[in-house]
Structure 1
Amino acid sequence: MPHAAPLDTIGTMARTNPQRGAPGGAEFDRQASRFGGHAGPPTLLFVLLPVFFSFLVQVPVAVLSGVHRHDPLGLLTLVLALIGPGALLFARRFPGPVVAIVAAAACADLLLPSASGAPYVAVGFAVISAIARGARLWAFLAVTAGWLIAFGGSLVFSIDWNPGRVVVTTIGLVVAMVIGEGIRTRRQRVLEFQLAMRRRREDTAQAERVRIARELHDVLAHSLSQINVQAGVGLHLIDEHPEKAAEALANIKLTSKTALDEVRGVLGFLRSERDAPLLPSADLARLESLVAGASTEALRVRLDNRITSAPSAGVQLALFRIAQESLTNATRHSGASEVAVTVAETAGFYSVTIEDNGVAAPAGASTTTLESALGNGIRGMRERAELLGGTFEVGPVDAAGSASSSDSFDSSDSAAAAGAPLHAAAGGLAGPVGFRVRAILPKQGSGR
């Protein structure tokens, strides 16, 4: 099932070099807002307040200075004072170019003979904004280039600067960089946390979808398969043995009713109905009716229940569903005349083994190959076993009763839990075994 597109977008954005510049800053804010708000301070604090403060500090002083001196360059001084606050209005969307423009205006203001003398605080806000929004390279290059140009210009034009002002300005720029880096780090951590939470919610939802799909598949595939078989029997016998055709119709009615009840249970869980069971009721007590329902004149199914202690509800559900799906596959695909179902236990394991004398799969066929051939059923059985910390085997069986599948078991306890080959056991298959499905589950399931 596909994941939501925003995750790929944000993952790509997070891996992109933050020094690429302006577009990254706007994209960062947009993606952050999609996860529950901005990843940093609100717009009023982070955009409008710096603009207002820069305007208040720089522009009035530049106006008064130009009026007082009647300097022909006073208008240029005023324009430079306005560039800083004006450029900050676009810092959120274009943080890189803004810090470059503001730094250039600050250098020009410093080098003008008619400079007002007011601190060009807009450059500090531009540096903070650029670094916080990912345009660090722009900020570092703008500050470095601006500082070098300012010192070079002071030597060329013989401008005498107060050493205290140089020290304070340098410290101010360093502090602005530190503040910007701190804000950037915080924004990144917030976004990563929100992204991780989003992925966790989607993973949980995906796991639940898989579980529900597995339940629906096991319920519907088995029931519809049984209905199909019984309907075929009824059509075949309706003329010569109408009483057996009527029995087949009764079985169809019972099977469809059971399937509807289980589907209602799953749908009730999906709708979060309080009286709906969390899982469809399926346990080992229903194995006898399962075997009886799968038995026909053409297919004899036998059950050997060797379990003496009651497994947990999760283990019972897994054993039942694996037996149910295996019987469905035997009915639909194997062409078998006999199927033997055995559930057993040892000190540490429960097992379910289903063997038939039908058409065997190719020797050496792996579980992955069989999954591709038989669809979702094999995959669902394997998932059920692995979720409880167990193991799963499926494949052809040779004349000696040993599995030819590459997915065989190594644990001696696990092998003991499975019991002897059924075709050699009392009450087992009379002829050669063609196909085997076996799952072994620990009594203390991991519950993954």
Structure 2
Amino acid sequence: MEEQRAPGQWWRYGPPWSRYGPPWRGGPDEAEPQHGNRRPWRSTALLTAFVLIGSNFAAHDQPHRVPLDPYARVLLLITSLLLLWRHRYPVPVAFGTATLTLGYLAAGYPYGPVFLVVAVACYSAVVAGHRRAAWASMGLLWTGHALVALWLYRWLPPAGDTRAGLTQEIVIATWVLAIVALSELARVRREQWARERADRAQAARRRADEERLRIARELHDVLAHSISVINVQAGMGLALLDSDPEQARAALTTIKAASKEALGEVRQVLDTLRASGAAPRTPAPGLDRLPELVEQAAAAGLTVEVEGEQPPLPPGADLAAFRIVQEALTNVVRHSGSRHARVVFAHDGDALRLRIDDDGPATGADAGGSGNGLAGMRERAAALGGTIEAGPRPDGGFRVLAVLPSRLKEDQ
């Protein structure tokens, strides 16, 4: 179906048939598909009219030059219309306008706004990245004009022409350098804007990646712990369903409570995604919920001892400490044969040393886990300027040691 356009839009980029180019081109399949490749009809038409009309006025002030005739007007028209291809073929257009302008001046026609055509072509070539071609075309024009004005004028029209003065050539050279300088300035500005746009886009992508990682860590920490408890309790319930119905009922009750809590925390994370820029409806979890973790671990058959004083922490560090303890206890439930774990709080200046130990041995059970728990803990600690060490203990078992800042920095 043909594209519907308002009547005023048909000639915005030239006549409708211009989309397919001249008849000697390959046909509709080779039409220029992108908006940036369409020919600049409007600006070229305005510039062509300005050159033709301005040259008529310039001819009245230069009676010693050859008057404008049909050949001169055709030459001016062709030179100006070359600008239609300045975006797609900047180098041929730059050399073509310079050559035709030189031919126009060598024929003795009046000086005038035809130089503006060369300036626009040079600008387009420089902005497109063809700097040497633009300089060469301007050098060709100036060199050719110098030869005509200083030597070849004897054999070229108009009759009786005299040798040009040095001042005139200096003025033309200054004009050429000014055009090149302005074109280079425009090119530098465009490249600077392009770099700034690329930097902003890269920063936006980096922020989006960081936010995705944060959300992934949050969901992992929320789900891994609750699902591990559910997995252990489900296995226990199945094993005791016939022999000890009351114990199986208790396991199902624990599964219900753990799944309800997990759904609530997942809903909180998703609410922050749906409401862009809005604060979460409930506070983020912190070490004040450590007794809940201890109870959930006890329901999964893990006894947890807590030693040391829990210091007041900034919100970010408080959440990170809670998630690290949660993930460490989850790993004990899933991967350790020990049914006993210790959570130890210690102070080291402005840092909190958080240690989680279990006596092992490792069971190899993974409960369907993805293995991202330790990586998530390290990312949380690194985001706050802290560190995480995790590995087997010399006397057996496993240890997670986290060092987190225990107070806000002065510049926050």
TM-score, with normalisation over the residues of structure 2? 0.77
Superposition deviation, residue 360 in structure 1:
5.8
Superposition deviation, residue 62 in structure 1:
8.2
CA distance in 1, matches of 2:217, 2:133: 53
Identity score, percent: 35
Q: CA 1:135/1:311 → structure 2, altered by over 3 Å: closer, same or farther?
A: same
CA distance in 2, matches of 1:380, 1:101: 63
Q: CA 1:48/1:78 → structure 2, altered by over 3 Å: closer, same or farther?
A: closer
Alignment of 1:49-448 (within 5 A): 49-58=46-55, 74-112=69-107, 114-118=108-112, 120-121=114-115, 122-152=117-147, 155=151, 158=154, 159=156, 160-163=162-165, 164-272=167-275, 277=280, 281-295=284-298, 299-359=301-361, 375-399=371-395, 433-445=396-408
SS class of match (1:311): coil
Counterpart contact for 1:396–1:435, Cα < 8 Å: yes
SS class of match (1:295): helix
Superposition deviation, residue 168 in structure 1:
2.8
| 1:197-237: CA deviation from partner (whole Å, max 9, x where unpaired) | 22222222221111111101110111111111110010011
Superposition deviation, residue 69 in structure 1:
7.5
Superposition deviation, residue 346 in structure 1:
4.0
Q: CA 1:232/1:171 → structure 2, altered by over 3 Å: closer, same or farther?
A: same
SS class of match (1:352): strand
Superposition deviation, residue 108 in structure 1:
1.5
Letter in 2 for 1:208: E
Q: CA 1:45/1:192 → structure 2, altered by over 3 Å: closer, same or farther?
A: farther
Superposition deviation, residue 300 in structure 1:
2.9
CA distance in 1, matches of 2:179, 2:282: 58
CA distance in 2, matches of 1:107, 1:346: 82
Q: CA 1:291/1:139 → structure 2, altered by over 3 Å: closer, same or farther?
A: same
Counterpart contact for 1:390–1:445, Cα < 8 Å: no
CA distance in 1, matches of 2:322, 2:251: 24
Aligned residues: CA RMSD? 3.4
Superposition deviation, residue 51 in structure 1:
4.2
Superposition deviation, residue 252 in structure 1:
0.4
Q: CA 1:51/1:236 → structure 2, altered by over 3 Å: closer, same or farther?
A: farther
Q: CA 1:182/1:278 → structure 2, altered by over 3 Å: closer, same or farther?
A: farther
Letter in 1 for 2:392: P
Which runs of 5 or more structure 2 residues have no equivalent in the other structure? 1-31, 157-161, 364-368
Counterpart contact for 1:128–1:180, Cα < 8 Å: yes
Task: Tell me how many residue pairs correspond in the alignment.
Answer: 360
TM-score, with normalisation over the residues of structure 1? 0.71
Superposition deviation, residue 117 in structure 1:
4.2
Letter in 1 for 2:335: H
CA distance in 1, matches of 2:245, 2:202: 59
Q: CA 1:58/1:303 → structure 2, altered by over 3 Å: closer, same or farther?
A: farther
CA distance in 2, matches of 1:45, 1:186: 24
| 1:44-65: CA deviation from partner (whole Å, max 9, x where unpaired) | 99766544433433478789x9
Q: CA 1:59/1:279 → structure 2, altered by over 3 Å: closer, same or farther?
A: farther
| 1:158-192: CA deviation from partner (whole Å, max 9, x where unpaired) | 35553254333222211111221222222222222
CA distance in 2, matches of 1:308, 1:327: 17
Letter in 1 for 2:89: F
Superposition deviation, residue 287 in structure 1:
1.2
Q: CA 1:351/1:253 → structure 2, altered by over 3 Å: closer, same or farther?
A: same
Superposition deviation, residue 144 in structure 1:
1.7
